[in-house]
Amino acid sequence: MDVGRRKWVWKDMPPRMKPRRLASGKVLYYYQAAGKQTPLGSNYPAALERWAQLEAGAGNTRRFPQITAIYRATLDALAASTKAHYRLALDNLDLAFKAFSLEQIEPKHVKEYMRRRTKKGAARFEKRVLSAFFNWAREEGHTAAPNPCAGIKFSKAERKVYGTGKRTVYVTDDEFRETYAKADDIVRDGMDLALLTGQRISDILKARRQDISEGVLWVAQEKTGKRLGIKVEGELHRVLERVLGRQRDVPSMYLLCDRRGQRITYAAFYARFRKTGAAWQFRDIRAKAATDSPDLKRAQMLLGHESEQTTAGVYRRSRGEVVAPLERKIQDVS
């Protein structure tokens, strides 16, 4: 049955900006308002600039969402998961500051936004996104206003609510074992691979059988683009033998897959992990791998960081000092 040509859908278009794909595959952009179409050209970033000018109108100040629409086009270089988080943060910021120009946003407005935000972890991240956006806007000449995030200070009580921005959770061996005992086989495999390789779960979920070659597991890190080879020896060799030896109804190229051989998605894996009831997050295993590594240099190489400073400052987490008790004779009065 002929169902006709599939309709072409373009997502993330700002209001009144319309794309048109030609038979050649080239895309042209138009501004559509009051029954009139104004050509914006074929270059997307330049079209967004022109769109923002038309939205604002001659002599009028451009609003916050009109500039963030241009900024969104610069996010394509980011990893898919990072880009998704940035876009969600920008959606929330657009809603909060839709009536503001960049020049009107002050530190007090940002702090009030964070106070009102019920999810404080998200508020902290959105503040970082807002700061990155403002730095970009200043560099590109969209504003000369100071970055409003730079002037925010928190009281001691507020710092307890929002945290320092640096995660400090260290998963002890007992906590790891407790969660491991409650996990299913797929989550256990993921936990073992994450701990032994120090890699992010997004990269582990993409790992395939053919990525193991000549005694080396090759990992292509999505976030950094770095290709890292990890020797398959010792405990990692034993774990990979167990993972590859699991019985499946359908063979699969992926290390982590369901019984039908289908690759486990990021969302599906986290749904399985949450069922364990762990009080810590799966990403904390990467920090545990860095912290438990016998030396900083080895941890840096395992995690694929460019510098030891990143490993030490973000991923090596203190387990606290261990000291001996006071040596003193206590009188027994029982």
Cα torsion angle, 49, 55, 60, 65, sign? negative
| Beta pairing class for 227-231 and 216-220 | antiparallel
Residues facing 31 on adjacent strands: 17, 38
CA distance 266 to 284: 16
Q: What single-letter DSSP state applies at residue 152? A: -
Q: What is the 8-class DSSP label of residue 155?
A: -
Chain segment 116-126, per-residue pLDDT in tens? 888 888 888 99
- Domain ranges for the chain: 10-56, 61-165, 174-315
Instruction: Say yes or no to pLDDT of 129 above 90.
Output: yes
Single-letter amino acid, residue 318: S
Q: Are strands 36-41 and 212-213 parallel, antiparallel or unpaired?
A: unpaired
Look at residues 74, 107, 113, 71 and name the one whose alpha carbon lies nearest to residue 95: 113
Read off the tokens for 187.
């989550």
Residues 6+ apart with CB under 8 A from 334: none
> Which region among 39-48, 146-155, 192-201 has the lowest average model confidence (pLDDT)?
39-48
> Helix count (H) and strand count (E) of the chain?
14, 6
The helix or strand, by DSSP H or E, that contains position 110, with its residue range, turns out to be helix 107-116
Q: Give the range with max mean pLDDT: 47-61, 197-211, 216-230, 318-332.
A: 197-211
Phi, psi of 34, deg, nearest 5: 55, 40
The CATH homologous superfamily for domain 174-315 is Intergrase catalytic core (1.10.443.10)
Q: What tens digit of pLDDT does each residue of 206-249 get?
A: 999 999 999 999 998 887 788 889 999 999 999 999 999 988 88
Cα 293 to chain centroid distance, Å, stands at 24
What's domain 61-165's superfamily in CATH?
Answer: Tyrosine recombinase, N-terminal domain (1.10.150.130)
Please, is 204 exposed, middle or buried when counting C-beta atoms within 10 Å of its C-beta (0-12, 13-18, 19+)?
A: buried
Closest CA to 191 of 278, 85, 79, 308: 278
Separation CA 160–CA 147 (nearest Å): 24
The position carrying tokens 């009188």 is 331
The CA distance from 217 to 302, in Å, is: 12
List phi, psi (to 5°) of 280.
-115, 170
Total-model pTM: 0.61
Residue 60 predicted with pLDDT over 60: no
Give the pair of three-digit tokens for residue 29.
Answer: 């952009």
